[in-house]
Structure 1
Amino acid sequence: MIVDSLQNAAKYYSLHPAFEKAFQFLNENELANLADGVTQYSDDLKIIVNSGNGNSKEQSLAHFECHDKNIDIQVCVAGPETYAWKPREKCVSPNGEYNEEKDVRFFFDQPDMFFELNPGQFTILFPEDAHAAMISNGKIKKIIIKVKI
C-alpha cells in the first residue's frame, strides 16, 4: 500500500507500466467536474468516478476486500475519506468465494489500521492489500483507477 499526494505521483511511475498513464489522466482532467460513472480508458485502465455519502465503519467493513487481477489507485477529490487496511496474508476468514467477473474477494477479518485521505491525496492498493473504503460522516467524491496487472 502507498499513500501520498498527487503532486508526488511521478515517483511511482516505475512501479507499473500503466501508472504514468493513470496519473496523467488525473493531471489532465478537472477531477471535481468529472461525472460519476465507469469508463474503460484503455486496455489496462478503467476509471470509476463515484460520489456519495460516506458509510459507517461497520457498513464499509462488510465490504472488506482485495483484488487478484487489478491494482487500485484511489484518489480523494472531496472528503475526507477513511480507509481500513490489513495485509491480505493475515486475512483468515473469507466471506464467500472469489468473484472472478468483478475481481473481488471479501473477508470477515478486522483491519489492522485505519488511515484518512484528504482532497489531492491517493492510495495505491495492490492485490496483497485488503481494504475497505468510503468511511466518512459526510459526502465523498473519489476516483478509482483499476490498473490491470
Structure 2
Amino acid sequence: MIYDRLENIGNYPFEHPNLKKAVKYLIEEDILNHKEERFVIEEGELFVNLIENMQGRPEEKKYECHHDFVDIHITLEGLDYIRSTDESNLVVTTPYDREGDYLLGDCPGDEYAEAYIPRGCFALYLPKDAHMVNGTPKEPGRVRKFVMKVKVK
C-alpha cells in the first residue's frame, strides 16, 4: 500500500507500463474535478470508476483482494477510510473469481494498517494487498471517490 498526496504521485518510479500510464494521466489531468462517472483510458487495462456511498462499521465489511489489478483510490468528497493487510492474513469467505479479479475475506486479529484518505490524497493497493473499503471506526459519513483500476498482470 502507498498513501500520499496526489500531487506527489510522480515521485514513485513504477516500472510497469500501465502504472506509468496511470501516473502520467494523474499528473496531466485534473481528476479531482472530473465529471464523468466512468472513463476508460485504455480498454481492459486502465479505467476509472466513480464510487459514492455511505460508510458503515468495519465489522460489517469484507476485505477485497485483487491478483491482476492495482487499485488507486482518490477521494473527491468526505474522509475515506481503508484498512489493508496482506492476502495471507485473510480468512477467505468468497474464493477468487478470475473474471472479476477479486476474492473476499475477513482479517481476524490486528494485523492491518489503517489509512484516512482526505480529498487530494490517494491510496494505492498492489495485487495481494487486501483492503477493506466503505467502513469507518468513526461516525459514518458519505464518501465520493474515484477508483482507478490498473492491470499489471
Under a length normalisation based on structure 2, what TM-score does the superposition of the two structures give?
Answer: 0.83
| Residue 48 (structure 1) aligned with residue 49 (structure 2) | yes
RMSD, aligned α-carbons: 1.9
1:71 maps to 70
Q: Percent identity?
A: 24
How many angstroms apart in 1 are the aligned matches of 2:123 and 2:32? 16
Counterpart of 2:41 in 1: which secondary structure?
Answer: strand
How far did residue 17 of structure 1 move?
1.8
1:148 maps to 151
Q: Which amino acid aligns with 1:112?
A: Y
1:22 maps to 22
How far did residue 25 of structure 1 move?
3.1
How many angstroms apart in 1 are the aligned matches of 2:121 and 2:15? 18
How many angstroms apart in 2 are the aligned matches of 1:104 and 1:119? 26
1:31 maps to 32
Q: Which amino acid aligns with 1:52?
A: N
Q: Which amino acid aligns with 2:123?
A: T
How many angstroms apart in 2 are the aligned matches of 1:22 and 1:89? 27
Counterpart of 2:21 in 1: which secondary structure?
Answer: helix
More deviation, 1-10/82-91: 82-91
Across the two proteins, how many residue pairs are aligned to each other? 145
Q: Which amino acid aligns with 2:102?
A: V
Unaligned runs of 5+ in 2: none
How far did residue 30 of structure 1 move?
4.8
Q: Which amino acid aligns with 1:81?
A: D
How far did residue 107 of structure 1 move?
1.1
Q: Which amino acid aligns with 1:131?
A: H
How many angstroms apart in 1 are the aligned matches of 2:25 and 2:55? 25
How far did residue 54 of structure 1 move?
2.0
1:1-149 equivalent positions in 2, closer than 5 A: 1-27=1-27, 28-36=29-37, 38-43=38-43, 44-59=45-60, 61=61, 63-91=62-90, 93-110=91-108, 112-136=112-136, 137-149=140-152
How many angstroms apart in 2 are the aligned matches of 1:20 and 1:68? 19
Asked whether the equivalents of residues 13 and 19 of structure 1 are also in contact (C-alpha less than 8 Å), the reply is no
How many angstroms apart in 2 are the aligned matches of 1:13 and 1:47? 21
Counterpart of 1:94 in 2: which secondary structure?
Answer: strand
How many angstroms apart in 2 are the aligned matches of 1:33 and 1:112? 32
Q: Which amino acid aligns with 2:40?
A: Q
How many angstroms apart in 2 are the aligned matches of 1:77 and 1:26? 14
Under a length normalisation based on structure 1, what TM-score does the superposition of the two structures give?
Answer: 0.85
